[in-house]
Amino acid sequence: MNALAPRGDPFTTLDGQTLWLRPICPDDADALRRGFARLTPEQVRQRAFRRMAELSVEAAERLATVDPAIGAAYVVTDADGEVRAEARLYVDASHYGAEFALVVDPSLTGRGVGRALMQRLLAEAAARGLHVLWGDVLTDNAVMLDFVRQLGADRQAVPDDPGIVRVSFRLRESHTIPTQPSP
């Protein structure tokens, strides 16, 4: 655990817990591994599209070190500095859009953490002048599909893979995420 004061922008979850959102840094590799260990096997499958028993040291170091020319990654940490959620974007080869990924600690789902991270990713994508932020979601990941629907994402079938849905946010200068879920 981190003995230092929390870093990043504080925000309050829907149930009143204070967490911190900030860019990922290379020092987060061990915390990423601990955070990965807290995920359910189903969350791992839905995020990685395959089963994984653990996040290797090498993978954690690679994830914690982002080339700002082609990507950005953010973490949400608790008061102990533990990573409780992570989101990232990778600019695609066309430089027209970016792919995103998001995962939230199971103890924090439904509390506004994913929404805070998506707001940050959308702002980052817009600041880069990108036109679309997209992600591939397994068709059985109802929680994520409902989440992005509430945020206004479009959905498209992936022709070569019926198990995946492509979700996308069309970026406009004033794109905002609703503060409350839509009915």
21-69 residue pLDDT tens: 999 999 999 888 887 887 766 665 556 555 556 677 887 888 889 999 9
Structure tokens at 80: 């102990």
- pLDDT(133) > 60: yes
Burial 152-172 (b: 16+ CB within 10 A, else e): ebeeeeeeeeeebbbbbbebe
AA letter at 111? R
124 or 52, higher pLDDT: 124
Q: Give the integer Cα–Cα distance in Å for 55 and 57.
A: 7
AA letter at 100? F
Domains of the chain (ranges, CATH numbers): 9-129 (3.40.630.30)
Could you report the per-residue pLDDT of 85-116, keeping only the tens digit for each?
Answer: 999 999 988 878 999 999 898 889 899 999 99
Q: What are phi and psi of 141, to 5 degrees?
A: -90, 70
180 or 126, higher pLDDT: 126
AA letter at 119? Q
The CA–CA distances, whole Å, from 26 to 33, 55, 59, 89 equal 12, 15, 12, 17
Q: For the whole prediction, is pTM greater than 0.85? A: no
- pLDDT(175) > 60: no
19 or 94, higher pLDDT: 19
Element (H, E) at 32: helix 29-38
